[in-house]
């Protein structure tokens, strides 16, 4: 039996063996893509192709830790209902035996072509890295082409996560990299046929004049144009916390500027964090047939203690964010839930005017919208969102694993006048001021907890709407 067949069968067996226990988990997500079993991390190959949305994902089927990753696969016609498809890639070849790491998808003459990183670690833990590709006529079964790009000189084998796009009649690829003197950077490759690639240089570097120092490795780069500007999104590792910024172990953010394709030079401004929550990393974007720039992120963080999450006991860990639409307003990325998500709504439980304080009983799977000057939201007696007018800080607090309280903040001098919360059985995504900031976090509240308390500024009123959401949209 081929290596690929054997690994596929083992992954299918892992699903069969554990799917009942996974379903019993009270923290199992209702409308967020989650692994059928095992560990999920980065979104990969995010594309709308021949009318269908495909989201592949980094997947360890055999346990809830990291290791030799597979590509799992979800598909959707509407961004609301998702169906688990057969395993897309297994780490079955010499060039990807320690993991089919992250990458992207393009339409290539009517076929789907994916680019990914083949990760190889020998017995001594020495790493090798190869940029590989595979093709498919249906987006479901892939034939690997093998290695397309070897490691160029000047970089360590931390060189991965190819993201490919077309500009004019050439193809371009960004890759996350580490220089030999241990700085993170993003490099650019160019190709006429999307097969033979030439190295063009570095687009941005951790020691660049815009940063001072921005870490020893940059993962999962993505480059796209919005409103006539070029945006480079990436996830740097090794950035020190600085006040309210960079408080997660690893960061995700972006720079905005202009890419000179001729010179392979990218003039850009400073780095901005994209999300303010505890779990958000390695997002990927795509452009769909409505011309929207759509983003999905991993609702996790690398090197977090996976086993500390309660879902680990039920043989799964981590999930994706909801799909979001990006726009660029005054050089700032704005994230809004895709409008299709209104189709998740079942019954409306509240549409109420509140003065000073309101108490709401929610279903465990809910959407809440608050319009008005918000001071505090107490979520299921677990997390609190607090706005302090004096400092202009909006802070999300939640219990930390060591028994203390941990917090994340962002600065909003204009105040908080609108919130949209997507609440699933173990997460919350809080969109602030129509997507100006977002807090994405897992939330392991007591499974009986239903109450959300909303406090607004004295002598003002707010409107609160609550809907229950569907819990039958992810099909395994």
Q: Active-site positions?
A: 42
Q: Which is nearer to ligand FRU, 282 or 320 (CB)?
A: 282
Closest to ligand FRU by CB, 282 or 380: 282
Beta strand ranges found along 81-183 (DSSP E):
82-84, 100-108, 111-121, 127-136, 143-149, 155-167, 170-179
| Least CB distance to ligand FRU at residue 26 (A) | 27
- DSSP-assigned letters across all residues of 331-351: TEEEEEE-GGGGGGEEEEEEE
415: which DSSP letter?
-
Distance in angstroms (rounded) separating the CA atoms of residues 476 and 472: 10
Question: Pairing mode, if any, of strands 38-49 and 316-317?
Answer: parallel
Q: Which residues of 96-105 are buried (b: 16+ CB within 10 A; e: fewer)?
A: bbbbbbbbbb
Positions in the binding site for ligand FRU (CB under 6 A)? 41-42, 58, 69, 101-102, 117, 160-161, 219-220, 281-282, 302
Nearer to ligand FRU, 279 or 436 (CB): 279
Whole-angstrom distance, CA of residue 55 vs CA of residue 50: 14
CA dist., res. 415 & res. 436, Å (int): 11
Take residue 381 and report the two structure tokens written for it.
Answer: 């007696």
Instruction: Give 42 or 437: the residue with its C-beta nearer to ligand FRU.
Output: 42
To ligand FRU, the closest distance from the beta carbon of 128 in angstroms equals 14
Nearer to ligand FRU, 42 or 436 (CB): 42
Q: Is 200 left (phi over 0), alpha (psi -120 to 50) or beta?
A: alpha
Taking the CA atoms of residue 465, residue 457, residue 421 and residue 43 in that order, the dihedral angle to the nearest 10 degrees is 160
Q: How far is the CB of 331 from ligand FRU (least distance, A)?
A: 26
Per the document, the length of the chain is 476
Handedness of CA 15, 17, 19, 22 (dihedral sign): negative
29 neighbors 310 (Cβ within 8 angstroms): no
Least separation, in Å, of the C-beta of 306 and ligand FRU?
Answer: 12
Q: Which residue is nearest to ligand FRU (CB)?
A: 101
- Give least dist CB 230 to ligand FRU, A: 22
Backbone angles phi, psi at 409, to 5 degrees: -135, 160
Q: Are 267 and 204 in contact (CB under 8 A)?
A: no
Q: Which is nearer to ligand FRU, 27 or 218 (CB)?
A: 218
Shortest separation between residue 58's beta carbon and ligand FRU, angstroms: 4
Q: Which has the closest alpha carbon to 17: 40, 37, 44, 2?
A: 37
Q: What is the dihedral of CA 340, 161, 239, 208, to 10 degrees?
A: -110
| Least distance to ligand FRU, CB of residue 198, Å | 23
Q: How far is the CB of 302 from ligand FRU (least distance, A)?
A: 5
Q: Are 464 and 366 in contact (CB under 8 A)?
A: no
Q: Give the nearer residue to ligand FRU in terms of CB position, either 96 or 429.
A: 96
Q: Least distance to ligand FRU from the beta carbon of 44, Å? A: 8
Strand order in the sheet with 357-361: 357-361, 451-456, 374-379, 383-388, 393-399, 405-411
- Nearer Cβ to ligand FRU, position 101 or 271? 101
Nearer to ligand FRU, 290 or 307 (CB): 307
């Amino acid at each position: 039996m081929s290596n690929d067949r054997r690994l596929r069968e083992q992954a299918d067996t892992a699903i069969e063996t554990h799917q009942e226990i996974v379903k019993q988990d009270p923290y199992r997500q209702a409308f967020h893509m989650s692994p059928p079993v095992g560990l999920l991390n980065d979104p990969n190959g995010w594309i709308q192709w021949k009318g269908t949305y495909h989201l592949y994902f980094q997947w360890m089927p055999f346990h809830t830790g990291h290791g030799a990753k597979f590509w799992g696969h979800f598909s959707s016609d509407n961004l609301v209902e998702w169906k688990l498809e057969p395993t897309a890639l297994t780490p079955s070849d010499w060039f990807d035996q320690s993991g089919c790491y992250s990458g992207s998808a393009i339409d290539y003459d009517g076929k789907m072509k994916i680019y990914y990183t083949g990760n190889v670690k020998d017995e001594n833990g020495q790493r090798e890295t190869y940029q590989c590709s595979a093709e498919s006529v249906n987006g479901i079964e892939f034939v690997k082409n093998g290695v397309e790009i070897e490691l160029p000189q000047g970089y360590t084998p931390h060189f991965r996560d190819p993201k490919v796009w077309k500009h004019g009649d050439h193809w371009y690829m960004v890759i996350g990299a580490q220089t030999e003197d241990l700085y993170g950077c993003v490099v650019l490759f160019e190709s006429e046929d999307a097969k033979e690639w030439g190295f063009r240089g570095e687009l941005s570097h951790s020691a660049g004049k815009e940063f001072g120092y921005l870490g020893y490795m940059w993962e999962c780069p993505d480059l796209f144009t919005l409103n006539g500007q070029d945006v480079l999104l990436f996830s740097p590792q090794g950035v020190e916390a600085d006040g309210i910024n960079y408080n997660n172990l690893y960061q995700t953010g972006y720079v905005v500027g202009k890419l000179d394709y001729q010179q392979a030079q990218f003039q850009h401004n400073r780095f901005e964090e994209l999300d303010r929550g505890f779990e958000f990393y390695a997002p990927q974007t795509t452009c769909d047939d409505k011309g929207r720039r759509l983003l999905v992120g991993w609702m996790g963080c690398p090197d977090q203690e996976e086993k500390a999450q309660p879902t680990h006991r039920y043989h799964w860990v981590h999930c994706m964010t909801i799909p979001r639409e990006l726009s660029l307003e005054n050089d700032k990325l704005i994230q809004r839930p895709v409008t299709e998500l209104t189709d998740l709504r079942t019954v409306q439980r509240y549409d109420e005017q509140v003065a000073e304080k309101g108490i709401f009983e929610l279903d465990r799977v809910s959407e809440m919208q608050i319009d008005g000057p918000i001071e505090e939201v107490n979520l299921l007696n677990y997390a609190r969102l607090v706005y302090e007018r004096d400092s202009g800080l909006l802070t999300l607090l939640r219990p930390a694993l060591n028994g203390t309280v941990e917090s994340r903040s962002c600065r909003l001098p204009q105040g908080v006048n609108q919130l949209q919360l997507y609440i699933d059985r173990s997460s919350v995504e809080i969109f602030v001021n129509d997507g100006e900031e977002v807090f994405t976090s897992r939330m392991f509240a007591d499974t009986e907890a239903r109450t959300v308390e909303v406090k607004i500024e004295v002598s003002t009123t707010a409107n609160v709407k609550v809907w229950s959401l569907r819990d039958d949209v992810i099909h395994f």
